[in-house]
Amino acid sequence: MPLPLSYGPVGLRPIRVRDWRDLQAVTAANRSWLAPWEASLPSPGVPVDIRGGIRILLSQMRQGLGIPLVMEFEGRLVGQLNVSSIQRGSISSAMVGYWIAQEFAGRSITPTAVALATDYMFRECGLHRVEICIRPENAASLRVVDKLGFRFEGAHRGFLHIAGRWANHYEFALLSTDVAGGVLRRYVEGRVPADACVIPDWAASLL
């Protein structure tokens, strides 16, 4: 269980089962904002159970497979960030996914939270690689990896079931050796290379 992480008014803390009411309220208020990017289940008619989902995430954490977190701004729950697919040994990698309430988008909260989580993965968990996969149409999420200098590494057809269908995704990643001084420090100091997140013209042909 990681300790809470913070920078200024932005905080990350482990999710709790009792967070389900706040999460339900935030997701309900942001239904139209989140729906196009929300992970879904291929099996139709399976109900969404937030409390059950939190328990599954916590079970995965106890197995060392993930770290489920909530994003806070000035102490208010505004989104969620999940570290998943943690693998040790010769791979030493993890994936990061996130969402934030619409009224808090564009205020540097998400890139700050992703930077905090990525630094934690590198420094405290000893991982070598952190990956983020994003739909090509998700301009807001693409801006996050651009601001943090994640590098484009490829494209995946039908990678994840999103909003009721299998969706293509671009893949971005950072290595611990890319950011010796830390992701957050590089972001705050404005030292992210301008070409770090360039998506080549040929990438669209992969999908």
* 132-147 pLDDT, tens digit each: 999 999 999 999 999 9
* 64-91 pLDDT, tens digit each: 899 999 999 999 999 999 999 999 999 9
Q: Distance between CA 171 and CA 93 in Å, rounded? A: 14
* 2-44 pLDDT, tens digit each: 679 999 999 999 999 999 999 999 999 999 999 999 888 887 6
Residue 45 three-state SS: coil
Those residues with Cβ within 8 angstroms of residue 89's Cβ, 6 or more apart along the chain or in another chain: none
Residue 41 three-state SS: coil
- Structurally, the chain folds into a number of domains equal to 1
Could you list the residue range(s) of the whole structural domain that residue 200 is in? 5-206
Q: What percent of the chain has pLDDT over 70?
A: 97
Taking Cα atoms as reference points, which of 75, 82, 85 lies closest to residue 99? Answer: 82
Sheet holding 165-175, edge to edge: 5-7, 10-14, 67-73, 76-87, 93-100, 129-134, 165-175, 151-162
Phi, psi of 98 (to 5 degrees): -160, 160
Strands (E), 74-180: 76-87, 93-100, 129-134, 151-162, 165-175
Contact 86, 94 (CB under 8 A): yes
* pLDDT of amino acid 206: 78
Look at the pTM and tell me if it is higher than 0.85: yes
Alpha helices (H) along 73-123: 109-123
Helix-, strand-, coil-residue percentages of the chain, each rounded to 5:
35, 30, 30
Those residues with Cβ within 8 angstroms of residue 41's Cβ, 6 or more apart along the chain or in another chain: 161
CA distances from 39 to 36, 64, 88, 164, 170 (A): 9, 22, 25, 8, 16
CATH number at residue 167: 3.40.630.30
